[in-house]
Each structure stands twice: as C-alpha cells, then as structure tokens.
A and B are shown apart, each in its own frame.
Chain A
Amino acid sequence: MASESPQLRKLAIVPAFNESGMVARVIRDIRRAAPGFDIVVIDDGSTDTTAAHAESQGAVVIRHPFNLGIGGAMQSGYKYALRHGYDVAVQIDGDGQHKPEYLPELLAALQTEGDEADMVTGSRFLGEPGYKVPLGRRAGNLIFAVVMSAITRRRITDPTSGFRMTNRRGIELFARDYPHDYPEVEAILMLHAHRLRLHEIHVSMNARGYGKSSIDYPRSAYYMVKVLLAIFIGLFRRRPTAVEASGKDEILGGPPMDTGELQAITDGKR
C-alpha cells in the first residue's frame, strides 16, 4: 500500500453537532495541515448553522435529518468513504479537540506499519496529553485501557480516543456496523474481533473538546457500565456485525463494492 501512496484517496470525517463556531476552523486547519485529504462533515442534526459554515469552506456536508449520536455520524462518514472508494479515512472531531497537524504522522504510521496496522489511533497517554485530562476521565480511560489491552493482547493506552485513522478494511467494517453511542472502545473490540490490527502513536490534544463534552458524572457512570457491558457481550459474539448477520448488504444503500474485494474481507474475518 505504501508504494501507491500518491494515488491514495484520503478522507477526513468530521462529525459535528452544533459546532458552528468551530467547524470552519477545523476544516481550514485540516486543509492547511493535510491538503491531500478530502473532507466530509457529518452534520448530525445540528440546529445551528454548522452545515452552512462547513459548506462555505467547501467541505462535503452530509446532513442528518435528526441527531443520531456520534456512532451514527461516524458510520455515515465511513459509508461515504466506502461508496466513494477512499483508501484511508480519519476521524477528526468537529469541536477542535483533535489537531490536524498529526494527520501526516498518523498516515505515515498507517503506511509504514503496512500489514501491521489497519487502524492508527492518536493516543494522549503515550506522552504528554497536551491538556489537563480530568482525573475521572483518566481513571475511566485507564480501566478501558487495561481491559482492552488484555483482550487484544496489545498495548492500548487510549481506547477512548476518537482521533483514529483506518485503511480500507476498517472503512468497510465500520460502514457495515458501528457501535451506537460512546463507540470508540467498542470499535476497537470490533476491529479485534475481525482480526484487524491497531497501532497507537502519541498525539497531544486540545482541551476544547472536553469543555463541551457530553460526558458529565451520571453519564460517565452510564458510559462505564454501557461500554463494559458491550465489551463483555462482544466477547461472546463471534461476528459482531448485526448487518452482516442479517445479510443486508443493501444497507449501505448503494451498489455493492467489488465482490472479490468483499469476499477477501469476509474470508479474512473468519
């Protein structure tokens, strides 16, 4: 894959919910830091002018008729990536938490790792996080990190990071099935279940994302329980794709992708 680098089609998926104040800047930053990336903004049912701001920057905007949550938004992005034949997709939050200047590093890791990595995550905890991560958040992350490292038998330091780049295999997997809310940890589990490999590189992040985080105390309790339950159940689910199980390929809503390719993927999973 590394050899065909110039032809790689790369997509930045920017989920945004009522981020009219930030989304334009995020798009500009991506353009500046990684000009090779196309940008699709998933406006997840915003009630403000997020879509208009994104459009004014020339990004493709997919507008959900109502709020589906981060999981639904990301999946929309992956579906778009799959339909339009992208080789690489990266998630960058529309709230400005993720720094686009790391995109080249993520891409380089995805390529140099070659067969070793299907997804590269930007981890805050491989080094200096770049902002003061609240203690509760840190503790929660640590629990997930320990659990996920044990399950995947790989060192995972930041399983809750949404700053992640994936290759074609990851795009195909996530377009088919993506966890609903608080999807990051579960997504790792899905990757693992399908034998895709993870790699982490260090990034620093902005605190901006946290200030508006939807995760307050009662919700973080729900978050912990929900994700741990999902992990637990996921362990007993050999093929964790509901879509696949029901055989609804048309769920992608478009023409099926190259069947040989699809076959290779599904074979690889088993």
Chain B
Amino acid sequence: MRRLAGAASMLVLLIFAAPAPAATVKVAGDQINGLGNAILAAESGDTILIPNGNYLLTQGDVLKEKDLTLRGAGTDLTTITPSGGGDALEDPGVTVDTTSLTVGPAQKDSEEEAAADAAESDESDGIEAQAQIIALVVTFAIFMFVLDLVRRRRLAERYAILWMTAALALLVLSIWTGGLDALADLMGIQEPANAIFIIAFAVGFLLLLNFSAVSSRLGEETKVLAQEVARLDQELRHERSLRGGEPNGFSGRAADPEQAQDKPPVRAE
C-alpha cells in the first residue's frame, strides 16, 4: 500500500519535475562520504549521478529537503546503502531512479530500528512455523493438563473453564496468525509478539486479581469457621464440666449455673 503510494507520488513528481531545469551533480570522493558531500553541494531539484560502487547514503534530511533525484550507472553497478532507516528515499520529493541503481539494505544504527524493520518484514509472513509449532504443542499440553486436573478433581470446573479459555485463545492465535496480526494492528502495536505479551499480561493480571478476591473471601470464611470451631469446643468442654467429668482440667466458673440455663442448644444447621 505504502509502496504503491510512493510509486504513484514518484510518477507525479517525475511529471512535474521534468520541465524544471535541473543541474546534474556527479559524486566525487570515496564511497563513504562522497554521496553525502554531493547531496550537501547540490541545489534543490538537482540530479545526482552516482558512479560504480557501493555508496553510503548519508545526509538523508538534506536529501529530503532538496528534493533531489538519485541516478546510478546501472542496477548491477551502483548500489546505495542508506545509513539509518533510509526513509529519505521514500520521501515523495526524492526520486530514486531504480533502473540505474540498487538500493541496498539499510545500515542499522540502532537495535530499535532493526526491530522495527524486522516487524515490518514479519507482517507478511507472521510468526515463523517453528514458533507456531512450539506454541501449538505448549497450548495443547496446557489444555490436557487442565483437563487432567479436573479429571482428578484437583481443580474446580469453574477455574478449569477459565484456564481452558485462556489456553484456547492462545491456541487460536498461534494457528491463525492473521488474527494476531489484525489484533496487533488494532492495538497499534507493530510487533505481533508484543500484542500477545500485552494480552497475556492483562489476562494474567485479571486472573490474579480474581484470585485475590477469592482468597479474601476464603480467608473470611476460614475465620468464621475457626471461630465456630472454637465456640463449639468451648461449649463442649463446658457441657462436660457440668456433667462432672473434667477430662481436660476445665474448672467451672462461679456464674456457671445461671449460664447453663440460657445456653442455647447447639443447632444442627
């Protein structure tokens, strides 16, 4: 899409640029600085002729500003290697005569840009098959593990559903890579793998939050149970002591008779 637009604008530019009188600047000097110097020396609209060799393309900003045309001595003879992202070559004002030169792969000056480029080149073919197979195997294993936990009654069904949904989502995304790309696009994330990480993080976060809530409730319930056990224990000891047997050394209180009266029977609820 972008390339088409670039080509179209190039065409438009060629049509409009053609009538304008433009000088031609020849690149002189070494392959590292020559092209950059020529760009600096050129006037707006000039054409830069690049001789045989692999020239490093620097001064991208100036190139963009001056709307220069780059022409080589032949696709198999002249190569230009953009330093940095090489985005100047895609500037609508800049014309690259690709019939006379080859644009080599850009020199990476930072990992970030390299990664960005990699993402761009990945967009077409998604996750590699190898990673896809691993993802398939792992998610399938998770799925089976969850099922097995349920089978052995180690995991309540409602949590099983939760985890199996998560595993299923992973499975779907690892098979249907287009879905992942679409998802990444939707979220404005260049690298589909990052989209997976973010989604996984969000899901994990919610699960943990849910478990915190569950364990809070369990703690509350456990507290009530412990209090009840303690109460029943006390009442049992009390009853025993009233019957005269004092197996655990409980010595009754002075106020006991009165209390025995209003002590409610233990209800079986």
Contacts and interface: CB of A to CB of B under 8 A. Distances in A.
B227 interface: yes
B149 to A, nearest CB: 27
Contact of B234 (A56, A63, A68, A254): A63
B250 A64 contact: no
A84 interface: yes
A251 B267 contact: no
B234 A64 contact: no
A19 interface: no
Interface stretch (B83-91, B136-144, B164-172, B218-226): B218-226
Contact of B233 (A58, A63, A85, A255): A63
A62 B230 contact: yes
Interface stretch (A73-81, A96-104, A127-135): A73-81
Given A38-B255, A65-B226, A84-B263, A253 B231 contact: yes
B269 A250 contact: yes
Interface string A225-247: 00000000000000000100000
Which interface residue of B238, B252, B253 has the most chain A CB atoms within 10 A?
Answer: B253
Contacts of A84: 259, 262-263
Contact of B230 (A55, A59, A65, A180): A65
Interface string A37-81: 010001000000000100110111111111010001001100110
Interface residues of B, number: 26
Nearest to A85: B262
Contact of A79 (B231, B233, B252): B231
A80 B231 contact: yes
A68 B223 contact: yes
Contacts of B228: 253
B53 to A, nearest CB: 68
A168 interface: no
A253 B267 CA distance: 8
B268 to A, nearest CB: 12
A83 interface: yes
A255 B264 contact: yes
Contacts, number: 68
A60 B255 CA distance: 11
Interface string B239-256: 000000000111111110
Contacts of B254: 58
* Central interface residue in A72, A83, A250, by most chain B CB within 10 Å: A72
Greatest chain B CB density within 10 A among A38, A60, A79 is at A60
A217 to B, nearest CB: 25
Contacts of A38: 253, 255
A72 B226 contact: yes
Contacts of A65: 226, 229-230
A78 B89 CA distance: 80
B227 A68 contact: yes
Given A68-B226, A72-B226, A255-B267, A56 B251 contact: yes
A63 B254 CA distance: 20
Interface string B59-83: 0000000000000000000000000
Nearest to A31: B254
A60 B238 contact: yes
Contacts of B259: 84
Top 6 closest pairs, chain A to chain B, by CB: A62-B230, A76-B227, A62-B234, A253-B228, A64-B230, A255-B264
Interface of B: 220, 223-224, 226-231, 233-234, 238, 248-255, 259, 262-264, 267, 269
30 contacts: A38-B255, A52-B249, A55-B249, A55-B250, A55-B251, A58-B253, A58-B254, A59-B253, A60-B238, A60-B253, A61-B250, A62-B231, A64-B227, A64-B229, A68-B226, A68-B227, A72-B223, A72-B226, A75-B227, A79-B227, A79-B231, A80-B231, A83-B231, A84-B259, A84-B262, A180-B223, A251-B224, A253-B227, A253-B231, A254-B264
